[in-house]
Amino acid sequence: MIGAVPALLALAFLLTALLYASVGFGGGSTYAALLALSGLDFRLLPMVALACNIVVVAGGTIRFARAGLIPWRGALAMTALAAPAALIGGLTPIGQSSFMMLLGISLVLTAATMLLPVREGRAGQPMRLARYVPVLAAPLGYLAGLVGIGGGIFLAPLLHLTRWRDAKAIAATASLFILVNSAFGLIGQLLKQGPGAFAGAIGAALPLLIAVAIGGQIGSLMAVRVLPKRWIRWLTAALVLVVGARLLWPF
């Protein structure tokens, strides 16, 4: 199991949640990577990372819904395609080397997507490719359940590049996407590992859950007022790239 949670690891989780929440994401891939580098059994990583994801994005999703920013028809269509795949991903057995390689690759790709330009104003006319983006929801959902991420970090840049909706609608859609995928992926992991492993992992990780709850709230409410969002995205991308490269180094 996890054992005592070092204060440095809890601080790293808090900062990760703060940075990701400030740009509308959950941070699941980075939580999993930090746990991998700390020596946690790789089979428990997705459960803890997905639980942290849920804690970070739940509040944001509720705020988006209350503000009427979620384009329900399109968001629910993509989420409905992704959620069953996330459940299957959570149920899929995977070896340690394959898990670490997939996690490292997902982190490097995460860093790349965070460096892509984002239109902050209103969206223009959607590109023709925008109608085909939902097809990718299922594989993104499967990856989410398999390695403990939400998938929104990959979905959102595609929606921006194809001008699917305006920036706020895309952020709201990504938040819902991450929340539901994380929940279904966590259910799959629970069924695969058993309730005992789940209870032990989550119980021992309680300080980390508290840390991401605090960091997520700070990130969503205050961080964007301190630094320009573009700077926060670049800083987060740099940190994620370093961690991803560290995981892939043995390969």
- Alpha helices, DSSP H only, in 67-95? 72-91
User: Tokens standing for 248?
Assistant: 């892939």
Residue 1 falls inside a structural domain? no
pLDDT tens per residue across all 251 residues of the chain:
455 568 899 999 999 998 888 777 889 888 988 998 888 888 899 999 999 999 999 988 988 899 898 999 999 999 999 999 999 999 999 999 999 999 889 888 888 887 877 665 555 678 888 888 888 999 999 999 999 999 988 898 888 888 898 888 888 899 999 999 999 999 999 999 998 988 888 888 899 999 999 998 888 776 445 556 677 778 778 878 888 888 888 65
pLDDT of residue 1: 47
Q: Are 29 and 17 in contact (CB under 8 A)?
A: no
pTM of the model: 0.88
Instruction: Give Cα 146 to chain centroid, integer Å.
Output: 12
Residue 70 falls inside a structural domain? yes
| Domain count of the fold of the chain | 1
Domain region containing 42: 7-248
Mean model confidence pLDDT for the chain: 86
Residue 2 falls inside a structural domain? no
pLDDT of residue 245: 86
**Maximum Cα–Cα distance for the chain, whole Å?**
52
Residue 77 falls inside a structural domain? yes
pLDDT of residue 116: 76
Sign of CA pseudo-dihedral 168, 172, 177, 183: positive
Residue 49 falls inside a structural domain? yes
Q: Annotate 115-144 with three-state secondary structure.
A: CCCCCCCCCCCCCHHHHHHHHHHHHHHHHH
Neighbours of 217 (CB within 10 A): 17
